[in-house]
Structure 1
Amino acid sequence: MKKPTSGTTDLTTGRPLTRILVFALPLVLGTLFQQLYSFADTVIVGRCLGTDALAAVGSTYSLNFLILGFVQGACVGFGIPVAEAFGAKSRDDLHRYLYNGVLLCVVLSVVFTVTTTLGAAPLLALIHTPVNIFADAALYIRVIFLGIPATVLYNYSASVLRSLGDSRHPFYFLLGASLLNIGLDWLLIVPCGMGVDGAAIATVASQLLSGVLCTWWFFAKVENVHFTRDDLRFSAPHAKRLAVIGLPMGFEYSVSAIGAVVMQDAINLMGSVAVAAQTAGEKIRQMFTLPMESVGMAMATYVGQNHGAHRTDRIKQGIRDGCLVQLVYCAAAWVAIYFCKPYAVGLVLGDADPAVTQGALEYLTVISVLFCFHGLLMIFRNTLQGLGYSTQAVISGVGELVGRSVGGWLAVHSLGYFGICIANPIAWAFALAYCVIMVMRMLKKEDTPEVNA
């Protein structure tokens, strides 16, 4: 029997533009809300525990990005074959991908939890964490790493639901978990008197809740999912397909993290004013570019389903419509930043050094003009991922690393702070050029009689 409230959507039918926009909206809202509750996290830790505690949590960002980015990317990748099987209406493949994805997630959880928890302190020492915040940073990141199974549970279950065309319920559950995170932050830190470990426990607990809710919704509400004994066994071909797509996507996230570390090193060499200015500008920039990334996530699911249904014509139309959405949004974002950047920078920095304020304004002025590179990159990179060519997406991540390295080198040796402002756009442009070429090649390959035979 069908369960009409499941929320799953067949993206192989209907107008591509409408399908992409409707599917992307909950993703956009989810990412924006994550930024808001992250800001609330920062306020609670900074005001209740002090600047050293805030610095300790902030010093773990690159490790978070590096390790958890891999986990998140891999789980998103595991959802691509599920989307293909759903689009192809293949019941057997769908169930076997789902179960073997669970097996890979268990392995991923065990390996990463053990190795990262034991290696937390050496990793913090490797990135030169200051002595006065080292103990708090190690305490915080160890709790986060112990919570990797909860991170895997949420990201895989949410990825599966999105692959089946349901982006709304992962957003609802994320919204509830985010509110829990804020409440637990305050409860554990203020009345209970805990330190940065309280903030970490709140984060892990909220992820666990959202993961459990996504899993419950899948088994309780999604139609036509009934596992048999034959489904619940290891399948080498299905596991291989999942690994070939998922693991490179994890590496792509990690490569991007390495690029961010390289660029941060260049910023640090320019002094504290440049660091503060770029940090403020970057926080505001992320609020405007996260919706572009959400549209990209929607594109990956859309392409995955239509690839499974052998609808190359709809994939091409989806690319055109997706590019249109991104370009219109980029223009609107530029106008919004042009008029509101003084107020946004003032909100973040308050009565800061005028040089810092001016640097943040310059950063936003330059980077907002070049948002189009980022928006289009999200369309073409996620198209590659939806087609199952994750290795090519990783290579585009290497292009980003090279681009940020070039921007950092230019900043230190010739362009000064302006080089920092254009480092991300250079990285986006390098990756975009590669992804456009590869998408054109892969779609041409999909159109050949040999592939379609």
Structure 2
Amino acid sequence: MATSMVKGNPMKLMLQFAFPLLIGNLLQQTYNIIDAAIVGQTLGPEALASVGASSSVQFLVLGFCMGSCTGFSVPVAKYFGAGKLDKMRDYIFNGAALAVLIAAILTTLCSLLCAPILHLLSVPSDIFADAYAYQLVIFLGIPFSILYNYLSSILRAVGDSRTPFLFLAFSAILNIFLDLFCIIILHLGCAGAAIATISAQAISGLLCLFFISRKVKLLLPTKENRTLRKDAAQELLAMGIPTGLQFSITAIGSMVMQSANNGLGSVYVSAFTAAMKIKQFMMCPFDAISTAASVFCSQNLGAGQAKRIRQGLRQGVLVGVGYGAFAGVIMILFGLPLTKLFIVSSAFEAINASAKYLRCLGFFYWMLGILNVCRMVTQGLGYSGRAVFSGVMEMLARTIVCLGFVGAFGFTAICFADQAAWLAACCYIAPTCLYCVKKSTKMIADRGAK
């Protein structure tokens, strides 16, 4: 059901919105973790390394898809908050057309360039074949990823985070059985894990499409709305492309980081893969909190509620930092046993390296509360171009650490690359977000004076 966030207690509204989104994100990461656990425990650490050797390029491509879809939903949230439903539907149709175009371009390019990408990442020769099979299937499934992310972003833009969660929950459970079927019964190896993941995403997207067509008629473009409009496309691209690039630019730094780590050997590839699964799982609440703050501020921008925008930012950051401190303690104290979920107990060197990476992250994890909320609120207020530079700061910091220090300090430098990126991005995005809030407040005041 669509839910307006322009009236009522800001904290309560954001937490109500964030909770199903959080559970959905946790479920999504859970089936990613199950992928890794099944691969690592049944096929061995080399297969786990094959699945994880290209995770940064997946983030580069799929992050662009997710970011673009999120950006396309910002005008939808704004016009929904303003009560301009006919205009909202114009943007939904034009956003769908752009999403189809992006899916076609990315699927073609990425599939053709799969092997060169893996060579660029310095994937070790002993795991290259499995890494290629896994990555190619993921690339061929890009349209399904875009289908789910676009439709779920539209639902969230109008305040419905519960429905995407329910569909994701169903597909996550299905993915577990598909993993076991494809890997253990059909013996498809690493490619089987990718097939299971893509199948689950496809089902989530189709369920969202079915639900919107039957239950959320206000989101269905009418015949009058189904027209390609230059002004709508320009506004959507102005929001979607920078948001997508922000994800991708961040991923470039991660690719440099992963390439440097891959060069240390398959032991550290396995360690890094296991640690990244845990790190991504622990990041789910940040995504939920920051998305809730972004949608809240975007709707209230459309409704001309300047005070509520400031409240949304302040309370979102408070919740994010609090969670980050808690999650950091978990990673510091329990990094070793968590790692053993993915790596067989006999692989002592890989287990210890993964636990070390998690301990180093834990002391700085609270910074992500500031970074994610400020970045998403900046995007939600319509300043995607400014938010992109936080990704640039992350990329530069990771690149400097990896190129400048891995040669001398090895895996220890890898363990501190993320923290350097977060600090650099926070120094930029926090004051930028405050400036954008101030600018939006002035725009609302000027609009009210007319």
Answer yes or no: is the 8 Å Cα contact 1:84–1:304 preserved in 2.
yes
Structure 1 residue 358: Cα displacement: 4.8
Are residues 1:104 and 2:98 paired? yes
Q: 1:417 to 1:192 in 2, by over 3 A?
A: closer
Q: 1:289 to 1:189 in 2, by over 3 A?
A: closer
Q: Name the stretch that deviates more: 119-128 or 242-251.
A: 119-128
Are residues 1:78 and 2:72 paired? yes
1:435 matched residue in structure 2: 429
- Alignment match of 1:391 (pick from 365, 385, 393): 385
- Report the residue type matching 2:279 in the other structure: R
Answer yes or no: is the 8 Å Cα contact 2:45–2:270 preserved in 1.
no
Q: Name the stretch that deviates more: 415-424 or 115-124.
A: 415-424
Q: 1:304 to 1:447 in 2, by over 3 A?
A: closer
Q: 1:315 to 1:415 in 2, by over 3 A?
A: farther
- Report the residue type matching 1:165 in the other structure: G
Structure 1: give runs of 5+ residues left out of the alignment: 1-6
Structure 1 residue 132: Cα displacement: 4.3
Q: Structure 1, residues 152-207: CA drift from partner, whole Å, max 9, x if none?
A: 11110011011110111101101111122221222233333434333332222211
Are residues 1:121 and 2:115 paired? yes
Q: 1:357 to 1:230 in 2, by over 3 A?
A: closer
Answer yes or no: is the 8 Å Cα contact 1:445–1:451 preserved in 2.
no
Are residues 1:217 and 2:211 paired? yes
Answer yes or no: is the 8 Å Cα contact 2:374–2:430 preserved in 1.
yes
Between Structure 1 and Structure 2, how many residues are aligned? 447
2:190 matched residue in structure 1: 196
SS at the partner of 1:227? coil
Q: Structure 1, residues 282-311: CA drift from partner, whole Å, max 9, x if none?
A: 433333222112211222211211111121
SS at the partner of 1:447? helix
- Report the residue type matching 1:173 in the other structure: F
Instruction: State how far apart, in whole Å, the 1-side matches of 2:199 and 2:186 are.
Output: 16
Instruction: State how far apart, in whole Å, the 1-side matches of 2:188 and 2:262 are.
Output: 32
SS at the partner of 2:382? coil
- Alignment match of 2:223 (pick from 223, 226, 229): 229
Are residues 1:64 and 2:58 paired? yes
Q: Name the stretch that deviates more: 208-217 or 184-193.
A: 184-193
Q: 1:438 to 1:263 in 2, by over 3 A?
A: same
Answer yes or no: is the 8 Å Cα contact 2:45–2:343 preserved in 1.
no
- Report the residue type matching 2:179 in the other structure: D
Are residues 1:136 and 2:130 paired? yes
Q: Name the stretch that deviates more: 88-97 or 422-431.
A: 422-431
- Alignment match of 2:416 (pick from 419, 422, 431): 422
Q: 1:161 to 1:279 in 2, by over 3 A?
A: same
2:252 matched residue in structure 1: 258
Instruction: State how far apart, in whole Å, the 1-side matches of 2:191 and 2:340 are.
Output: 31
Are residues 1:45 and 2:71 paired? no
Answer yes or no: is the 8 Å Cα contact 1:410–1:416 preserved in 2.
no
Structure 1 residue 412: Cα displacement: 3.0
Q: 1:171 to 1:224 in 2, by over 3 A?
A: same
Structure 2: give runs of 5+ residues left out of the alignment: none
Instruction: State how far apart, in whole Å, the 2-side matches of 1:414 and 1:189 are.
Output: 40
2:365 matched residue in structure 1: 371
Instruction: State how far apart, in whole Å, the 2-side matches of 1:344 and 1:43 are.
Output: 11
Q: Structure 1, residues 196-229: CA drift from partner, whole Å, max 9, x if none?
A: 3333322222111110111111121125345332
Structure 1 residue 416: Cα displacement: 5.9
Q: 1:52 to 1:337 in 2, by over 3 A?
A: closer
Instruction: State how far apart, in whole Å, the 1-side matches of 2:439 and 2:185 are.
Output: 61
Are residues 1:325 and 2:294 paired? no
1:3 matched residue in structure 2: none
Q: Name the stretch that deviates more: 249-258 or 177-186.
A: 177-186
2:171 matched residue in structure 1: 177
Q: Structure 1, residues 362-408: CA drift from partner, whole Å, max 9, x if none?
A: 43333212112111111100011101111111111000011212333
Q: 1:335 to 1:43 in 2, by over 3 A?
A: closer
Q: 1:263 to 1:298 in 2, by over 3 A?
A: same
SS at the partner of 1:190? helix
Question: Normalising to structure 2: TM-score of the pair?
Answer: 0.91
Q: 1:289 to 1:46 in 2, by over 3 A?
A: closer
Q: 1:90 to 1:226 in 2, by over 3 A?
A: same
Structure 1 residue 357: Cα displacement: 4.9
Structure 1 residue 102: Cα displacement: 0.9
Q: Structure 1, residues 48-105: CA drift from partner, whole Å, max 9, x if none?
A: 5555544433333233222122111111111111111111110121110111011101
CA RMSD of aligned residues (A): 2.5
Instruction: State how far apart, in whole Å, the 2-side matches of 1:128 and 1:367 are.
Output: 24
Answer yes or no: is the 8 Å Cα contact 1:319–1:379 preserved in 2.
yes
Q: 1:343 to 1:181 in 2, by over 3 A?
A: closer
Q: Structure 1, residues 128-151: CA drift from partner, whole Å, max 9, x if none?
A: 334444343333323222222111
